[in-house]
């Protein structure tokens, strides 16, 4: 039996109903070409044979062969059929799909690339928090890569697109979740994530000695900033547990700086606004007014701003290491408070 018959048998001799059948054919053929199981010049079974032998619609097989041809993996000869064109490669092909390319996400990206070294090629797509765009990216690329590394942060079109259903189209051994875990997505897969609610609570709790002199805590949380609601829940949980007066505001523009108040900010524009306003008062930063910022940066270090932050570089390195070692585990990324003079 030619190699491709074995490939198709492996795919359709078992139930894989959530991934479109033509994508299953494409994925199986691509994998075996790149592993060297299918060799250059080998003829694929005819569309009619595959359709009749495995009870597949002819249009399904045609679509799979057409996609393989467009991707350069096979070629067609009029009157003869389809032949393997691609050759084996030792490099993994990885599709990285991020929500945005901020300065912090760039740290993850470059750490991921560096850790992979010459063992992989990485294509980058941005879904901009849009579930419909993410669905389109997966639909156009399923079966073309060895691994799909996804940051599953979505705020737009989530009422129209079932993100979990889209993710379930990707075989678990090909899927990597980055920055956010999805407990509802069952099965063994790689995930390196932040547990936003628990991380925020524990980081604030670790700094309780610094926060003790402040009677009121204010979280500046922009509702249009596409930030996880778990941040607010972790903040509220800490304040209630510590019996602190607290508030959550949209931005720092209308905020009047008060003594015995500590401000926790996410965006750097709000951080700059609060530093400016504090300097216009007789209050001293770190004594009368506290400032705590999310995510560390060189400028915050120079300004001696206390931060709570994950280790973005570690996140990228860990994801790459797990992927290369084929360790399908879920790991929470380190998150901590870095103490400086602003609190």
If one compares 14 and 147, the residue with the highest pLDDT of the two is: 147
Going by pLDDT thresholds of 50, 70 and 90, the confidence category of residue 17 is very low
d(CA 220, CA 264): 6
C-alpha dist (Å) from residue 39 to 16, 84, 162: 26, 7, 38
Which of 106-120, 132-146, 191-205 comes out lowest in average pLDDT? 132-146
Which tens digits make up the pLDDT trace of 174-199? 999 999 999 999 999 999 999 999 99
Structural domains in the chain plus CATH codes: 3-84 (1.10.10.10), 92-194+312-334 (3.40.50.2300), 197-309 (3.40.50.2300)
Over 90: is that where the pLDDT of 40 sits? Answer: no
d(CA 12, CA 16): 8
- Name the residue among 263, 279, 278 with its Cα closest to residue 343: 263
Going by pLDDT thresholds of 50, 70 and 90, the confidence category of residue 35 is low
Over 90: is that where the pLDDT of 29 sits? Answer: no
d(CA 303, CA 239): 26
Calculate the dihedral angle through the C-alpha atoms of 52, 55, 56, 59, rounding to the nearest 10 degrees: 50
* H or E stretch covering 18: none
Q: What is the pLDDT of residue 158?
A: 86
d(CA 163, CA 153): 10
Over 80: is that where the pLDDT of 282 sits? Answer: yes
Q: For the chain, how big is the Rg over CA atoms in Å?
A: 25
Going by pLDDT thresholds of 50, 70 and 90, the confidence category of residue 14 is very low
d(CA 101, CA 110): 11
Which tens digits make up the pLDDT trace of 203-253? 999 999 999 999 999 999 998 889 999 999 999 999 999 999 999 999 999
């Amino acid at each position: 039996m030619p190699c491709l018959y074995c490939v198709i048998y492996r795919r359709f001799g078992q139930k894989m109903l959530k991934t479109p059948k033509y994508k299953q054919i494409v994925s199986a053929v691509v994998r075996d070409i790149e592993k060297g199981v299918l060799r250059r010049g080998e003829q694929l079974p005819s569309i009619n044979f595959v359709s009749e032998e495995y009870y597949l619609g002819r249009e399904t097989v045609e679509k799979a062969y057409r996609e393989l041809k467009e991707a350069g993996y096979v070629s067609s000869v009029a009157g003869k059929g389809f032949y393997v064109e691609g050759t084996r490669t030792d490099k993994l092909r990885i599709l990285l799909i991020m929500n945005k390319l901020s300065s912090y996400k760039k740290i993850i990206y470059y750490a991921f690339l560096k850790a992979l070294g010459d063992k992989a090629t990485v294509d980058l797509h941005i879904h901009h928090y849009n579930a419909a765009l993410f669905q389109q990216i997966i639909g156009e690329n399923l079966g073309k890569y060895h691994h799909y590394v996804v940051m599953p942060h979505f705020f737009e079109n989530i009422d129209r697109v079932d993100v979990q259903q889209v993710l379930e189209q990707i075989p678990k051994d090909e899927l990597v979740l980055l920055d956010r875990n999805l407990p509802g997505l069952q099965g063994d897969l790689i995930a390196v994530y932040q547990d936003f609610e628990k991380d925020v609570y524990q980081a604030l709790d670790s700094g309780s000695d610094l926060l003790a002199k402040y009677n009121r805590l204010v979280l500046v949380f922009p509702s249009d900033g596409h930030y996880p609601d778990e941040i607010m829940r972790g903040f509220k949980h800490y304040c209630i547990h510590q019996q602190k007066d607290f508030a959550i505001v949209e931005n720092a523009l209308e905020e009047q700086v008060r003594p015995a108040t500590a401000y926790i900010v996410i965006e750097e524009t709000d951080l700059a606004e609060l530093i400016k306003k504090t300097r216009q008062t007789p209050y001293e930063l770190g004594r009368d007014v506290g400032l705590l910022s999310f995510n560390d940066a060189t400028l915050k270090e120079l300004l001696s701003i206390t931060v709570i932050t994950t280790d973005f570089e570690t996140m990228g390195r860990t994801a790459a290491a797990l992927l290369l070692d084929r360790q399908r585990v879920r790991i929470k990324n380190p998150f901590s408070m870095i103490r400086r003079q602003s609190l």
